[in-house]
A = this chain, B = another copy of it.
Amino acid sequence: MTIQNILSDLAASRQTREALYQDFHRHPELSLQEYRTAERIEAELRSYGIEVLRIGKTGVVGVINNGPGPVVAMRGDIDALPMAEQSGKDYAATGVTQLDEATGQQTPVAHTCGHDVHIVCLLGAAKALQDHRQDWSGTFLAVFQPGEENAAGAQAMVDAGIVDKLPKPDVYLGQHVLGTLPGGAVGIRSGALFSAAASVEITLYGKGSHGSMPNLGVDPIVLGAAIVTRLQTIVAREVAPRETAVVTVGSFHAGSKSNIIPDSAVLQLNTRAFDKAVEAHLHEAIERIVRAECEAARSPRPPQFRYYDRYPLTHNHAEPTARVRAAFDAYFGEDSVEMAPVPASEDFSIIPDAFGCPYSYWGLGGFADWKQAPGNHSPFFAPDLQPTLDRGVEAIIVAASPWLIGGVQ
């Protein structure tokens, strides 16, 4: 009963998995429109003899019940991005487009965030576990999650009843291929890993007037400027200096002509925090300041706040993360590293939070020349095939081992 046994077919299956990866890579699909992707995943799982549940439109879960023991869920996200790939790879998704159901427009699509790696590694790990049932005990759930890029897919699986349809995991695991770790390394840390993020659209109301008669109006541009200026005090004065928090006003739009005072202004803000209480404070402070400035300006209507693109905090639980880290250290040696928090965001934690179970998430280095690697979401992002695909399978088996084979080793 060892990790090595479970992974003993890795070399033999390498070519098959690479071909599978290239197939997914050539067929990227937009968030919550991963129809072909989900079909293919389901077909693969079934071909391995694994039981499959569809949860929601494009969510897929492979379930391996293998005797008594802990339940381990592993998440792989499956969607691509609305952009044109420029990686130059021979398996690049050149010229691939998809009809965006939201806009009705045909749009380019590409796997420029590496979710295809996640799919194939999770399929590989599931097959290895299925093929070596004698080497472990417990339950393994391979959770193929749609819609990470629009922060809607994990919630969609929760809304579709994932909590009722699956046993509660003892641990919920996840991984992401990155250019910010050495190629082939696995990186993890306890605590805050990805920031909580949210966007807020704020509509401010003034009163229009001719530009030469400001006294007859309420100037929403002066109001908006006061707000933008005053918002700087949140990070500078209200948040503890050692906390990491960001309040960005990414757009400010008001008015059409120099000599007309407009009657409204629209600001779009983005917030980042590595602590839920800090994020709550940011939003409370934004609303407090905006409302107060509107009163200062005698704004004729209360401001409107619309929150969107909300990503939860990804905050690795200490106990399972320590177990994963110890397993990584033992198996990968120097390739097991400490990972720094990343100011990006993930919807990963929504499902384990819905289950009420702990989680742990790690990064997987995807580029030998990682110091020069393109960032995720770059049109040039395309990880090295190897050792990435092998390493991603190994990482899953190793991370799950403290639960699935740890007790019986």
Within 8 A of B (CB), among A245-267: 245-262, 265
Q: Are B255 and A251 touching (Cβ within 8 A)? A: yes
Per the bound structure, the CA–CA distance linking A397 and B257 in Å amounts to: 39
Q: A-B pairs with the 6 shortest C-beta distances? A: A251-B255, A225-B228, A292-B296, A211-B248, A212-B343, A199-B258
The answer to the question of A89 belonging to the interface, with a C-beta cut-off of 8 Å to chain B, is no
Chain B residue numbers with a CB within 8 Å of A256 are: 250-251
Q: Are A236 and B235 touching (Cβ within 8 A)? A: yes
CB < 8 Å neighbour of A250 from B225, B226, B237, B261: B261
Contact with B along A154-198 (1 / 0, CB 8 A): 000000000000000000000000000000000000000001010
- Given A234-B236, A236-B235, A344-B212: A245 touches B252 (CB 8 Å cut-off): no
Q: Are B288 and A246 touching (Cβ within 8 A)? A: no
23 A-B pairs in the complex with CB atoms less than 8 angstroms apart: A195-B212, A197-B212, A197-B259, A199-B259, A210-B343, A211-B248, A212-B272, A214-B248, A226-B230, A226-B233, A229-B229, A233-B236, A236-B236, A236-B247, A241-B244, A241-B246, A241-B272, A241-B343, A250-B255, A251-B254, A252-B252, A288-B295, A289-B296
CB < 8 Å neighbour of A268 from B255, B265, B268: B255
CB < 8 Å neighbour of A229 from B199, B222, B246, B298: B222
CB < 8 Å neighbour of A252 from B235, B238, B260, B265: B265
The answer to the question of A64 belonging to the interface, with a C-beta cut-off of 8 Å to chain B, is no
The answer to the question of A18 belonging to the interface, with a C-beta cut-off of 8 Å to chain B, is no
Chain B residue numbers with a CB within 8 Å of A228 are: 221-222, 224-225
Chain B residue numbers with a CB within 8 Å of A237 are: 214-215, 219, 222, 232
Using CB atoms, name the residue of chain B closest to A240. Answer: B215
